[in-house]
Chain A
Amino acid sequence: MAGMVVALAGLKGGAGKTMLAVNLATCAVSKGLRVVVVDADPQASASLWVSLRDESLASLRITSAPTARSPEAAIVGALSEARGAQIVIIDLPPRGEAAARAARTAGARLVVPVRPAVFDVGSVSAWEPAREGMIVLNMVAPNAERSPAEAREALV
């Protein structure tokens, strides 16, 4: 069985799921942990990122999980492949409710990046997987439509 499983989920593309996934993965490998990244997003950005890694960097494994047909089977299969990993990071597809549910059922902690913008905060509030996960305010900028405090207040 894999160790801790974290799944990055999101209603919209461009919220930073993959960015957080690969950066959390590098935090873990930097600590010497065995890490597997599961690329379940058809855009395959995490796979591209891994392909760019220099051999001199700490190694991490990547496996793909095509969730289009059967999200549950894809997630379960990927986690089976990740056996022996201490940390598994799943990059879920956007609007992937079924995949997020499957990841949650498989024991993953859902992490949902959200930009502190009016429409992003509004839409994620009504998205069921976000209610079961942990929201991360991402791409916070000094000139954001909403400050992190305002966005936090709107979400809780």
Chain B
Amino acid sequence: MRVVHTAISRRAAFERAAGRGMGVVEMEPHSTAAEEMWALARELNLVNGARG
């Protein structure tokens, strides 16, 4: 099975953001949770592999 390198922790930060309809990169952009999320988005090629 393919397991991505990035692991996600910081559950509380995600829940805080979700309660306001936000993502962690919006609510706590300099947090470890946001760093993890950006790392995952990059690893999935989501933010650098989009087609216009």
Contacts and interface: CB of A to CB of B under 8 A. Distances in A.
A136 B8 CA distance: 8
Contacts, number: 117
Interface residues of B, number: 32
B44 A19 contact: no
A22 B18 contact: yes
Contacts of B20: 52, 54
Contact of A20 (B1, B8, B17): B8
A125 B1 contact: yes
B9 interface: yes
Contacts of A69: none
Contacts of B51: 3-4, 86
B14, B49, B52: most-surrounded residue (chain A CB, <10 A):
B14
Interface of B: 1-4, 6-9, 11, 14, 17-26, 37-38, 40-41, 44-47, 49-52
Given A16-B14, A116-B7, 19 more contacts: A6-B44, A16-B8, A20-B8, A22-B18, A27-B25, A27-B37, A27-B46, A31-B47, A49-B21, A52-B19, A53-B22, A86-B52, A125-B1, A134-B3, A135-B1, A135-B2, A135-B4, A139-B9, A155-B3
